[in-house]
Structure 1
């Protein structure tokens, strides 16, 4: 049984409009980086309605730099966080500036702020809880592993950049994989 962790429930205003699913269908956890300056901005971004269904883009869980965990979308709901994988996955967002605010600028693609120790410890606790709650979970991936689309850089359209690079090169994959014992999933690039 995993250690008890505290999860602050803060459902998004449109959570009830997100499709429901059988939690037995969940076999994947996708790790993201907010690439925003703070949790307040991440919350505001998650509340934005982007679809005719009245919903937006959000992970299920958010882990702040101090290790606090927030649930924005219940596991039984399909959150919009990774194109093509939403119905089978739980999305976890880690608060980190990433490339903010230069996501599409080829001159600013480096991730320079490491994830904090409290954040990684809380993530590991959350992953253990999710594995206990959903025994069908077998895989873990970064957003960058699954969304392989490219887009032109805003500063030079001849340069194609990966659309998603999170959780990025500073994420401690070896530690997480060793602790949680899930298989890392990678998308197959299109020919």
Structure 2
């Protein structure tokens, strides 16, 4: 029996290739991965998500849920499907993307690595409500991580290949980990040392 949770409006708008994503049992999900979109708008995130990047399956990169700056919640991929959002962890995880510019538009330039757009209170409120609901609906869900915790690869900077930059830095230094972790029944996986 699920706990009594407040309503959480979700705009369900499946990606065109959702049915081609690999199905999975919900009991396989034990991890949520937090991302930021690193593009300015939800519409741009949607456009990127719709791009077919994997010809063999006809699918692309996307998260399950997206949270816009106003706190509105959008589901592009159902949890019972494996979305492509983080290397090596997709089969066991739900990806949540929060609209934020991140390092846009020069993601891998060595002189453009700051991530200085704060997350809105509405985004964080929606995220906490979503995480509480996911934890209640999926008893196997135990862990939470940032994309940067799981994909720690370094790559040559686009402006100077002799310099190395982090391939992924999201959700970034302004994500309020302490606030979120105090409010959800999940443990941070692969947290960086203090």
- Answering whether residue 14 of structure 2 is matched by residue 11 of structure 1, we say yes
2:86 aligns with: 82
- Answering whether residue 127 of structure 2 is matched by residue 123 of structure 1, we say yes
Helix, strand or coil at the partner of 2:77:
coil
Match of 1:165 among 169, 178, 182: 169
Segments of 5+ residues of structure 1 without an aligned counterpart are none
**Number of positions where the alignment pairs a residue of Structure 1 with one of Structure 2:** 188
8 Å Cα contact 1:146-1:187 kept in structure 2: no
Structure 1 residue 181: Cα displacement: 3.0
1:91 aligns with: 95
1:75-103 alpha-carbon deviations (Å, 9 max, x no partner): 00000000100000000000000110010
Segments of 5+ residues of structure 2 without an aligned counterpart are none
1:33-74 alpha-carbon deviations (Å, 9 max, x no partner): 000010100000000000020000000000000000000000
1:49 aligns with: 52
Structure 1 residue 158: Cα displacement: 1.2
TM-score, normalising length: structure 1: 0.96
TM-score, normalising length: structure 2: 0.95
Helix, strand or coil at the partner of 1:181:
coil
1:144 and 1:69 mapped to 2: Cα distance?
Answer: 22
1:21 aligns with: 24
